[in-house]
Amino acid sequence: MAVNTEPTSRERVRRAALKLFATKGFHGTGIRDVAQEARLSSASLYHYMGTKEELLAGLMREALERLLAAASAAVAGVDDPVERLRRLVALHVTTHARQPDETRVVDNEVRALSPRTRRAVVRLRDDYERLWAEAIDDGVRSGAFATDHPAVTRLALLEMCNGVARWYSPRGAVPLDRLAEHYAGLALRALGHTESLARAERP
C-alpha cells in the first residue's frame, strides 16, 4: 500500500508563510500571497491559519520551543561553563544554518506582533537566552571567562551566530560541524577564555 507523503493543507500553509515571512517580511506578505504559495483559495486559508498574526506567532513559538528544548538537553548535567557555552554556540550555529527561514523569522519579526502576543514569544526567547547568560556568568565567577560586560557580550555573540542564517551554504568550503566548532572558538576567545586565547596565538 502506497504511503501518501504529500503535505497536508495546514502544513502547506505553514511552509508558505515561513518562506514568505522570511523573504518579504510579515508586513510585506499578504493573505493572497500565502494562499497562492500554499495553492489554496484565500477564502479557505483562514480554516487552516486563523489570522496572519496568529500564524506568525505560532511559527515563532514552535521554533523557539524546539530550540529551547534542544539547548536544555545539550547542557543538562554539564557543570563546566566553558563546555556549556561551547555546546550552546554550536547548537545555535547549526540551527541557523539548517533552518535559515525559520530563524530569520524568529530573529527579525518579533516587533510585528501585538504586545499581548509578543509577550509569550519573548518569554520563550528569554528562557533560551538565560541558558547563555547562566553559562557566561558561571564562567566569569569561576575565572574561566573575563569580561566586564557579560550581558553585552552575550548579545554580541548571539548576533554573530544569527548571521549564519544569512550566508551559510552547504556547498561552502567549511563543513557545518567544523563551522560550528570554529564559532565556538570565536565565542570563547571573545569571552577571554585563557586556553582559547593561547591556542589562537600559537604559530
State how far the Cα of 29 lies from the Cα of 27, in Å rounded to an integer.
5
- Residue 35's pLDDT is what? 86
The mean per-residue pLDDT over the stretch 5-30 comes to 86
**99 plus 24 within the same structural domain:** no
Q: What is the DSSP letter of 77?
A: T
**110 plus 141 within the same structural domain:** yes
95 — pLDDT class (breaks 50, 70, 90): very high
pLDDT-wise least confident of 48-57, 67-76, 132-141: 48-57
**62 plus 41 within the same structural domain:** no
For 28-69, what is the HEC assignment?
A: CCCHHHHHHHHCCCHHHHHHHHCCHHHHHHHHHHHHHHHHHH
**110 plus 88 within the same structural domain:** yes
**71 plus 117 within the same structural domain:** yes
Instruction: Quote the pTM value.
Output: 0.87
**108 plus 179 within the same structural domain:** yes
Residue (of 44, 38, 48) closest to 18 by Cα position: 38
Burial class (CB in 10 A: 0-12, 13-18, 19+), 130: middle
Range of the domain at 73: 57-201
**25 plus 117 within the same structural domain:** no
- Residue 4's pLDDT is what? 43
**139 plus 93 within the same structural domain:** yes
The separation between CA 108 and the C-alpha centre of its own chain, rounded to angstroms, equals 11
**163 plus 77 within the same structural domain:** yes
Q: What is the CATH number of the domain that holds 144?
A: 1.10.357.10
Determine how many CB atoms are found less than 10 A away from the CB of residue 105. 26
The mean per-residue pLDDT over the stretch 140-151 comes to 94
Number of domains in the chain: 2
Q: What is the pLDDT of residues 157-183, one digit of tens each?
A: 999 999 999 999 999 889 999 999 999
Q: What is the CATH number of the domain that holds 31?
A: 1.10.10.60
Cell of 180: 560550528
Residue 48 has φ and ψ, to the nearest 5°, of -105, -15
**83 plus 2 within the same structural domain:** no
Decide if pLDDT at 1 tops 50.
no
What mean pLDDT, rounded, does the chain reach? 89
Cell of 196: 582559547
